[in-house]
Amino acid sequence: MQLGKFIDLNSDMGESYGVYKYGADEKIMPYISSANIACGYHAGDHHVMRKSVELAAKYGVRVGAHVGFYDKQGFGRRFIDISPEEAYEITIYQIGALDGFLKVSNMSMSHVKLHGALYMLAMDNKEIAEATIQAVNDYNDQLEVYALPNSIFAKCAEKVNLLVINEFFADRPYENKQVKMFDWTLEEIGKPTDAGKRTLTALQNGIETICIHSDTPGAPDIVKHVCETLVLSGWTIGRGDHHKSRKNIIQS
C-alpha cells in the first residue's frame, strides 16, 4: 500500500439532546474515520455524549471534541460576541467534559474541531483563533485541529506546532474556493455523485479530511457514496500514521 494514500472522513456526531434526535449517527458512523462529538454547549448532553463515544468505539472511529458556542437554542450557528478569554474557557470546558467520557471508555481524544459560527469566526478572527488554539495546545499538544486551508486559524495552529488537518466540506457548495456554510440550497449541494466529484477534485489541493454533516438531507447516502468513490479511487479511509512522522519533522 502506498504511503500517504490515507484520507480522513469526518462527521459531526452526538448532536441529539434529551428526547430530541438529530443526525443519522448510526448510519454514518460505519463509514467515517473521525467523529466530532458535540459537548453539551451547542448540542448534545451528558447522555448523548456517552452513547456517541460508545458508538465511535464500536466502529473504531477516532473521537474529537466539537466545540461550539453556548447556545443550544441557536445550535451554535449564530455569532455571539465573546471575548478571547471566554473562547479559551469554553474550549477547555468542552474538551474536558468529552475527555471524561473517553477516559472511562479507555479511549483518547484525537482532535478538536470548532462548530458552526465559532468555526467560521475562528477561521478569520486572529484573537479568537489564538485563544482557541492556545486552549487546545495547553490541554494536549498532540491534538490535531481541523481547519479551512490557509485560514488564520490554520496559521495560528501551525505557529504553535499543532498539527492542522486541512478540511473540505463535501456536502456544502463552494464559490470561488470559499465554502458556503450557511444558507445553501439543496440544488447547490446536488446529488451524492456531485459530492463525490467535488471531493476528488479537492483532494488534488492538499485536503486531508472530508467532512459530511450528519444533518444534511440524505447524509447517509452522501457519506456512503463519497466513501465508495474514495476507496475505488485507491484511497484508504483513515488518518493512517503519516501525520505522526510529519509531526516529528515539524518538531525536529
Binding stretches for a copy of itself (CB under 8 A): 17-20, 22, 40, 45-47, 49-50, 70-75, 77-82, 85-86, 89-90, 92-101, 103-104, 117, 135, 138-140, 215
Q: How many CB atoms lie within 10 A of CB 93?
A: 16
Q: How far is the CB of 97 from a copy of itself (least distance, A)?
A: 4
Cα–Cα distance, 73 to 51 (Å, whole number): 22
Q: Which residue is it, cell 447517509?
A: 220
Query: Cβ(13)–Cβ(36) under 8 Å?
Result: yes
HSE of 77, CA atoms in CB hemisphere, 13 A: 8
Q: How far is the CB of 38 from a copy of itself (least distance, A)?
A: 12
Query: Cβ(12)–Cβ(215) under 8 Å?
Result: yes
Q: In the complex with a copy of itself, which residue's Cβ is closer, 77 or 224?
A: 77
Q: In the complex with a copy of itself, which residue's Cβ is closer, 59 or 70?
A: 70
How far does Cα 143 stand from its chain's mean position? 12
Q: In the complex with a copy of itself, which residue's Cβ is closer, 39 or 230?
A: 39
Q: In the complex with a copy of itself, which residue's Cβ is closer, 85 or 175?
A: 85
Q: How far is the CB of 33 from a copy of itself (least distance, A)?
A: 24
Query: Cβ(17)–Cβ(68) under 8 Å?
Result: no
Q: Which segments within 14-68 are labelled E, that is strand?
A: 34-38, 62-67
> What cell numbers appear for 141 in the block?
499538544
Q: In the complex with a copy of itself, which residue's Cβ is closer, 7 or 109?
A: 109
Q: How far is the CB of 49 from a copy of itself (least distance, A)?
A: 7
Q: How far is the CB of 20 from a copy of itself (least distance, A)?
A: 4
